[in-house]
Amino acid sequence: MMSGTAGLLHLCLSVINFIFDEEMKVAIIIERADINLGGAERSVFEMAEAISKIGIEVDILAAKGYRDTKNLHLLCGDNQSKRTGYFTFAKAIKRHLSENRYDLIHSVLPFTFADIYQPRGGTYAETILRNAESFQNKFVVSYKKLTAFTNFHRSVLLHAERRLCRADKSGPLIIAISKYVAEQFKRHYSVGDDRILIVPNGIKIRTEIDSDKAGKLRTQIFAQLEINESDNPVFFLFAANNFRLKGLDVLIRAMRLVTNLRTPRPGYLIVVGNGDMRKYQRVANEIDSYNVNKRIIFLGPVTHIQSVLSISDVVVLPTFYDPCSRVILEALAAGKPVITTRFNGATDFFVDDRHGKVIDSPEDVTALADAINYFTNTDNIQKASNAIAVDNLKDKISINRVAEQLISIYKTILEKRRQ
């Protein structure tokens, strides 16, 4: 039998747990609610869906986007063509918050009135620096760094992020989607460990594959490359929208080196995404003496990455900057070995030389070529795939794991507040 005090404490804890689990309402702030814009937007919607499935009510507050999504509030009109200013959006959010009750504000943008700041794209400071480096020309790199502040929208966000990071402990808790992002906050803004938590990125695991679509795609690729099954090709998949930032130029040059080698199996590159295909087709054609252009196929944007993944052997992303690449996570979830750089937070999820390869510099063409050459060996592909399965990387990558971690953080914040 409980004492009066113990019984009262038990009752209070039961009430608190009931409030947390049954009535918690969270607002997630994002600038544009459109999954076609990229991985960051898609991740927010997947995260909101996973949190909702656990029983938390979630509203997405966006400046602009599409209205056919449940619990989406567009606060600055439906015009998709023009970005909303930071201060205009902040004012609209505050007006919405004054009229609606939320237990917790989880923001992707640097608003000091939020409880949590979780930038999907890493810090603005690192984004500017790494974007400049991706031009691979010292004069252009210097120019890009010097003129970074001519972009007013980006400059406002950078200053807002700096203000948020300089706030005392009462400021928003910072959640980093990778160790790389956490390190950025410490290096650029001197943020202490007590204000940063790491919740590694995750994705919605998709296991369904349209075998007919995948088969037709494979047939199309073989026809365009003018090869046969008997050629025993290894398909390397590169998927991105910003081809320059993600290192396609370096990758094509690495493919030139590999093409000039005697590899166990011939390597071919499948390029997927919304980038400037004509520019990089010209890059491939310029080194035609090595026939590298015959080893590359540009598919453009695809609706279902799973179909392309299913017919690929290895995913390669020699990125100059990626807080935590979705395509690398999708590859690991599908049991495919990966090649990327240390400037990709997705390296948190796999072990170099076990599940894939990590290149120190995205400009190191030779190291990238060596990694590609390594995976032209069937045994090496199989060993990495087996390790991915044995180490159960799929569960670690799941968005459901992310949702559980976030809800635990939500409860901790609310408990501290109510004490």
DSSP line for 178-240: SHHHHHHHHHHH---GGGEEE----B-------HHHHHHHHHHHHHHHT--GGG--EEEEEE-
State the burial class of residue 385 (Cβ atoms within 10 Å of its Cβ: 0-12, 13-18, 19+). Answer: middle
pLDDT of residue 275: 83
pLDDT of residue 250: 96
Give the chain's mean pLDDT. 90
For the sheet with 267-272, list strands across it.
296-300, 267-272, 234-239, 314-317, 338-341, 356-359
Instruction: Give the architecture (CATH level 2) of 211-397.
Output: 3-Layer(aba) Sandwich (3.40)
Mean pLDDT of all residues in 334-340: 97
pLDDT of residue 305: 87
Please say if the pLDDT value at position 13 is more than 80. Answer: no
Which amino acid is present at 143? Answer: Y
Cβ pair 237, 315 in contact under 8 A: yes
pLDDT of residue 277: 86
For 169-212, write each residue's pLDDT tens digit.
778 999 999 999 999 999 999 999 999 999 999 999 987 788 89
Cβ pair 277, 299 in contact under 8 A: no
pLDDT of residue 101: 95
pLDDT of residue 5: 44
For 284-306, write each residue's pLDDT tens digit.
887 655 678 889 999 999 888 89
Please say if the pLDDT value at position 6 is more than 50. Answer: no
Q: How many residues does the chain have?
A: 419
Indicate the CATH number for domain 13-204+399-418: 3.40.50.2000
For 243-267, write each residue's pLDDT tens digit.
999 999 999 999 999 998 899 999 9
Mean pLDDT of all residues in 337-366: 97
For 32-50, write each residue's pLDDT tens digit.
887 766 678 889 999 999 9
The continuous run of DSSP H or E covering 20 comes out as helix 4-23
Task: Report how many helices (DSSP H) and strands (DSSP E) the chain contains, helices first.
Answer: 16, 13
Cβ pair 239, 315 in contact under 8 A: yes
Angle separating helix axes 399-418 and 39-53, nearest 10 degrees:
70
Instruction: Identify which of 109, 188, 145, 119 has the alpha carbon closest to the alpha carbon of residue 345.
Output: 119
In angstroms, the CA 287 to CA 259 distance is 11
% the chain with pLDDT above 70: 91
User: Would 13-204+399-418 and 211-397 be classified into the same CATH topology?
Assistant: yes
pTM: 0.90
User: What are the tokens at 277?
Assistant: 């295909």
Please say if the pLDDT value at position 17 is more than 80. Answer: no
For 69-109, write each residue's pLDDT tens digit.
779 999 997 655 578 999 999 999 999 999 999 999 999 99
Instruction: Identify which of 164, 192, 202, 116 has the alpha carbon closest to the alpha carbon of residue 395.
Output: 202
For 136-156, write each residue's pLDDT tens digit.
999 999 999 889 888 888 999
Cα-based angle 330, 336, 341 (whole degrees, multiple of 5): 75
| DSSP assignment letter at 266 | -
Instruction: Identify which of 35, 65, 69, 163 has the alpha carbon closest to the alpha carbon of residue 109.
Output: 163
Cα-based angle 45, 47, 53 (whole degrees, multiple of 5): 105
Please say if the pLDDT value at position 229 is more than 80. Answer: yes
For 47-65, write each residue's pLDDT tens digit.
999 999 999 999 999 998 8
pLDDT of residue 3: 47
pLDDT of residue 170: 77
Runs of H (alpha helix) within 73-177 = 86-99, 124-133, 138-146, 152-166
DSSP string, 55-84: T-EEEEEEEEE-TTSTTEEESS-S--SSPP
Mean pLDDT of all residues in 234-245: 96
Each domain of the chain, given as residue ranges in start order, spans 13-204+399-418, 211-397
